[in-house]
Structure 1
Amino acid sequence: MRLSKLFTHHPFFIRLFHWEYWSFTTVYGWIYPIFAVLCLRAGGKFFFTAANPTIKHGGFLMEPKQDIYPLIPKQYYPAFFFVPAGTSIEHIQQQVQTYQFKFPLIAKPVIGMQGKAVKKVNSVDELKHYAEVCTVDYMVQELSPYKHEVGVFYHRMPNETIGTVTGIVAKEPMTVVGDGVSTLYQLILEEPRYILQIDALKQMYGKDILQVLPKGKELILAPYGNHARGSKFVDWTHKADAEFIKNIDAVCTQINGFHYGRLDVMYNDWDDLRQGKNFHIIELNGAGSDPTHMYDPKHSLFFAWKEVIRHWFILYRISKQNHAKGHPYMTLKEAKAMFRSNNLHVTALDAIAPKL
């Protein structure tokens, strides 16, 4: 490897020189005291659970998706059904037929974490494998027909009737273009961002990773708009014009009890989405949402800290207003139980993911 590539293409240096790949604790640890001060102002309690009263824990952690989707009008999300862990493949197939689902489908844990154990299943055999491997409750969902994804950060004060958008992030999936000579593996190694996903991609493609892509053929390596799984995040907040905000607000005000969080949205045409047409909400994230537009590589760590702190204060003000309406804060004892459950769940997801 040439010396220049040693610094640009070695996983250690890729992570070292790009804060977006640093651990959650490394990024957030410096600003935790600010969050602690807000908790003290809330009487020594975890205020965020009051932000979205209809969502478990306010959507901070351990909130089940099968409880969140019914809060959203049906026309705004792909149909799904809930699958308790251990359900037989025969029963799941019956459900697929009942819902008239067609492959490919999406299987994902009902309590997610950074896209862990989310899988596009292309056949009954793949769904059977997922059912055999997945040890947590999950859901089977129609694959959205829309091709592009954005995350939209929204909030509305409980004492106000109109909300706003404070961030938009476009999600660019890992994509390579064949040259008729290089193998898929070689093409992956040309992009530093993809190198960090090489082990997962080897597992995903198996021997096919040595195939030579025809010249000009484009291949999306992974159909998941998740930063932890290789997608590039691009800050599109400047696209939040009055028309866009008005129509996003019109959707969000229909979601009972939703005041703060991020919508992950699939769409085909930006102008359609701007007008509130032809899109799917594939995830609704609550109080634990990152303002993910901060992960655009052009942004500094200082920008990220500023955005996180800004949103924490918004979260605090929303929670305080809801608390005044009778919605409780979380006690320290309850928070410890939540974090303990979350740690156990993440361990389970980490064990499942490599088997998929």
Structure 2
Amino acid sequence: MATDTLRKTSSASGDKPTSLFEFWPTWVMYSPVALQWVWLSLRHRSLTLPLLANPNLPLAGMVGESKHTLMSQARGDCRQAILPWVYHQRDDRDPMEQARQCIANANEAGFSLPFVCKPDIGCRGAGIRLVDSEQALADAIAAYPAGAGLLCQQLASWEPEVGIFYVKDPHTGQGDVVSLTYKHSPTVTGDGVHTLQQLVARDARAGALAHLYEARNRVDWNRVLEPGERKRLVFSASHCRGAVFENARTDITPQLTARIHQIMSDLPEFYYGRLDVKFSDIDALRAGQSLEIIEINGASAESIHIWDKDARLVDAIRTLMWQYRTLFTIGAYHRQQGLTPPGLRQLIRHWRLERRLTRHYPDTH
């Protein structure tokens, strides 16, 4: 197996394919964070103070976040950096009719098929798919419940992708890139002899995660790939779907930090989150050039370098705990400015909405 590489190639070279904790249940990794949350809540006398971190977003983007609502607030450099998209709300019309409307709206926005279709409210890559025809888009729309929103977004110019975690100090207004992570999409190359299943099994890491790849490649799973045929195992570069994350913090430069701060200064009242960005090459990334934002995540975002296979558990836990201390600190600042933390009912309502919608999303990639 190979990845869409920047530095890292196959994991079959003898070193460990995954970290000790990389695929532990979420509740295990976040147990220390939960305990810290309780302690900080007592200290700050508010259980929901972090939900003020990004004041212009409902619940600061912690759960049930609308991608359309967030990105629509962007202006200037930020709006220019985000790949064009159109929003559509599923209605009772025939899905094919709705697909044609989406395509027409996309054409007006300056892009056309193929493009990416993804839920407006969703997380961890759920429901993201590449659509290349009216029928494929209609099939995607048909899976959504009435009233649910979806986005159609232009394909990026480049394949490499990076997660950029950004935090802005509300006291000084200065923003900083605190984490940088390459997101590799595993790919296998056919030899005319082995099936996709066999090619995956031959790689140490991919073989350990075969259940993730089989679920998204059922049509080709038992097919012999032609010599030289490349097969991308996942479309959405999400860790829980089998993408490979590589810590790239050594590539954070003053130029990149300055450019990201410039971009994010044009997203009003945004202090904490992660940008998922496509870029042309490492030199351009370091220089803060040729960046295409495909998504911006709010308060629930992670510094995803912790999922590098060489990460240490103690460092990962420290990073997560630092993140949530930072959320409390930013929330406390905004409370001092007169804002009131939202209630638990609102948090639970948004969580239930996201959970209910996610059950409907087509999960084929």
TM-score exceeds 0.5: yes
Q: Contact 2:50–2:60 at 8 Å: present in 1 too?
A: yes
State the TM-score, normalizing by the size of structure 1.
Answer: 0.88
Q: Contact 1:155–1:261 at 8 Å: present in 2 too?
A: yes
Superposed counterparts of 1:176-325, under 5 Å: 176-195=188-207, 198-199=210-211, 201-325=213-337
Q: State the Cα distance separating 1:227 from its structure 2 match.
A: 0.4
Summarize deviations over 1:179-215 as a string: whole Å, max 9, x none. 3321111112233543465456445434432332234
Q: State the Cα distance separating 1:63 from its structure 2 match.
A: 1.3
Cα distance in 2 between the residues matched to 1:208 and 1:216: 15
The residue aligned with 1:95 is 102
Q: State the Cα distance separating 1:341 from its structure 2 match.
A: 3.5
Q: State the Cα distance separating 1:95 from its structure 2 match.
A: 3.3
Q: List gaps (5 residues or longer) in structure 2.
A: 1-11
**Residue of 28, 33, 36 corresponding to 1:34:** 36
Q: State the Cα distance separating 1:293 from its structure 2 match.
A: 0.7
Q: Contact 1:105–1:121 at 8 Å: present in 2 too?
A: yes
**Residue of 151, 173, 181 corresponding to 2:163:** 151
The residue aligned with 1:81 is 86
Cα distance in 2 between the residues matched to 1:31 and 1:49: 15
Q: State the Cα distance separating 1:314 from its structure 2 match.
A: 1.9
Q: List gaps (5 residues or longer) in structure 1.
A: 1-8
* Cα 1:126/1:108, change in 2 over 3 Å: same
The 10-residue stretch of structure 1 (282-291 or 89-98) with the greater mean CA deviation from structure 2: 89-98
Q: State the Cα distance separating 1:322 from its structure 2 match.
A: 1.9
The residue aligned with 2:348 is 339
Answering whether residue 199 of structure 2 is matched by residue 168 of structure 1, we say no
Q: Which amino acid aligns with 1:353?
A: P
* Cα 1:92/1:320, change in 2 over 3 Å: same
- Please provide the CA RMSD for this pair: 2.4
Q: Which amino acid aligns with 1:133?
A: A
Q: Percent identity?
A: 25
Cα distance in 2 between the residues matched to 1:162 and 1:93: 44
Q: Contact 1:83–1:92 at 8 Å: present in 2 too?
A: no
Q: State the Cα distance separating 1:253 from its structure 2 match.
A: 1.3
Q: Contact 1:169–1:233 at 8 Å: present in 2 too?
A: yes
**Residue of 103, 107, 117 corresponding to 2:117:** 107
Cα distance in 2 between the residues matched to 1:163 and 1:221: 35
Q: Contact 1:193–1:230 at 8 Å: present in 2 too?
A: no
Q: Which amino acid aligns with 2:116?
A: I
The residue aligned with 1:352 is 361
Number of aligned residues = 341
SS at match of 2:188: strand
The 10-residue stretch of structure 1 (75-84 or 268-277) with the greater mean CA deviation from structure 2: 268-277
SS at match of 2:104: helix
The residue aligned with 2:129 is 119
State the TM-score, normalizing by the size of structure 2.
Answer: 0.86
Q: Which has the higher helix share?
A: 1
Q: Which amino acid aligns with 1:171?
A: K
* Cα 1:122/1:39, change in 2 over 3 Å: same
The 10-residue stretch of structure 1 (156-165 or 336-345) with the greater mean CA deviation from structure 2: 336-345
SS at match of 1:147: coil
SS at match of 1:27: helix
SS at match of 1:247: helix
Summarize deviations over 1:36-58 as a string: whole Å, max 9, x none. 11122221331112111111111
The residue aligned with 2:26 is 24
SS at match of 1:353: coil
